[in-house]
């Protein structure tokens, strides 16, 4: 017969080693078992109501994974997405996250977030799902990220956008037409076009 702790460990592994309290309770893990595992050092707390098995190897990108679990409808964007796609020398000190304008502001203290509220069309366009440490993380693709960075150039910096654009252009599979299509969604096509034409 399986013990409560054995069932809990199996459930954690089934979910990539990470569970929110609500997921754990829904999966039949008692709150007592959860806290006993935490007190015994079997699981660690990654944030309020988020636990991870300690036996697993360290997270490759703890901030993105933590945010993906805490805010599943969030999409990694702007400088965080540039860093993910290796299109910038910037090191983001916060996770840049896109949310639909209708969403509630997430109550997350760690990791630090910078929230951007996107229109429905801009929010849905260019989303990729990447698995990091067995957890699906949603990130805008490189072309959508470039269009977003141009739209928010007053917040991220024009030099950040230009550096990313030149880094992207050097890639064998660059597709400036796709960048322009996303720029249309972001309503900056006319303003962005001269920059793309200048580097062709």
Q: Which of 79, 52, 69, 47 is nearest to 138 (CA)?
A: 69
With a cut of 60, say whether residue 60 has pLDDT above it. no
Tokens found for residue 38: 């935490």
**Model confidence at 51, in pLDDT bands (50, 70, 90)?**
confident
For residue 36, the model assigns a pLDDT of 84
Percent of the chain with pLDDT over 90: 49
Structural domains of the chain in order of their starting residue, each with its CATH number: 4-53 (1.10.10), 62-199 (3.30.460)
For residue 57, the model assigns a pLDDT of 65
Tokens found for residue 124: 């849905």
Long-range contacts of 117-120 (CB under 8 A, 24+ apart): 118/77
For residue 164, the model assigns a pLDDT of 96
Helix (H, G, I), strand (E, B) or coil at 96: strand
**Model confidence at 58, in pLDDT bands (50, 70, 90)?**
low
Q: Does the reported pTM lie above 0.75?
A: no
For residue 70, the model assigns a pLDDT of 86
CA 132, distance to chain mean position in Å, is: 10
**Model confidence at 59, in pLDDT bands (50, 70, 90)?**
low
With a cut of 80, say whether residue 2 has pLDDT above it. no
For residue 166, the model assigns a pLDDT of 94
Residue 197 dihedral angles phi and psi, to the nearest 5°: -65, -30
């Amino acid at each position: 017969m399986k013990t409560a702790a054995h069932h809990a460990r199996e459930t954690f592994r089934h979910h990539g080693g990470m569970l929110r309290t609500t997921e754990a309770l829904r999966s039949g893990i008692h709150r007592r078992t959860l806290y006993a595992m935490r007190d015994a050092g079997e699981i660690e707390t990654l944030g309020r109501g988020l636990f991870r098995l300690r036996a697993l190897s360290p997270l490759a990108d703890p901030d993105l994974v933590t945010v993906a679990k805490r805010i599943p409808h969030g999409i990694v964007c702007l400088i965080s997405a540039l860093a993910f796609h290796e299109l910038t020398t910037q090191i983001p000190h916060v996770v840049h996250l896109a949310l639909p304008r209708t969403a509630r502001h997430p109550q997350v203290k760690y990791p630090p977030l910078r929230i951007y509220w996107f229109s429905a069309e801009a929010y849905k366009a260019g989303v990729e799902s990447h698995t990091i440490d067995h957890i699906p993380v949603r990130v805008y693709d490189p072309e959508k990220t470039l269009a977003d960075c141009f739209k928010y150039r007053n917040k991220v910096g024009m030099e950040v956008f230009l550096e990313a654009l030149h880094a992207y252009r050097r890639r064998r599979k660059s597709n400036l037409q796709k960048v322009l299509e996303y720029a249309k969604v972001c309503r900056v096509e006319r303003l962005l076009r001269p920059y793309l034409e200048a580097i062709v």
